[in-house]
Amino acid sequence: MNVVYNLGERRRKKQWKFERSMLRSLSIHEMRNDAERTFFSGQIGETVGTLYLMDFCLDIGIDAYLLGSEYARFGYFGETAEQAEKRCEEELNALTGQTASQFTAWYTGGERSIDEHRKKSSAFIKKWWKKGFTEGEKKYRLRLH
């Protein structure tokens, strides 16, 4: 009996398995609280825009966390977090740009507001990327990948 494996499919399944295992160690409650502190600290009440943006922040935070965990492989092989972060700088900038654009679209406030949204977005994304990197590195060290 001949068995033919599709290498791309096998890689994709391995990646999904790794991502699922990483998501088990992620606290959505902690991420939600962090997003509230970072982006919504001065607002009172919940509006449709706030609820939408909170969901968007959680999605972006999860993406940053998984991206960090994916690049943790380089940390396992001896690179520092800063070196690994430079490898995925383009993806992190894209996530930061998307987040800042969403906040700018919902809250108008001029040029100063755009810079403020970009700074907050960058800090939030880098924080969750770093957490994903740290957790991923632990999994690689324990050979749980």
* Per-position pLDDT tens, the chain of length 145: 566 678 888 889 988 999 999 999 999 999 999 999 998 876 655 677 788 899 999 999 999 999 999 999 998 888 899 999 999 999 999 999 999 988 888 877 666 678 888 999 999 999 999 999 999 999 888 876 5
The DSSP output letter for 43 is -
Dihedral angle at the C-alpha atoms of 48, 54, 59, 65, nearest 10 degrees?
Answer: 180
Residue 68: other Cβ atoms inside 10 A: 29
Q: What pLDDT does 144 receive?
A: 61
Distance CA 89, CA 130 (A): 13
How many C-beta atoms surround the C-beta of residue 4 within 10 A?
4
Predicted confidence at residue 30, as pLDDT, reads 95
Q: Are 71 and 88 in contact (CB under 8 A)?
A: yes
Name the strand (E) or helix (H) holding 122: helix 111-141
Q: What is the pLDDT of residue 42?
A: 67
Can you give the pTM of this predicted structure?
Answer: 0.87
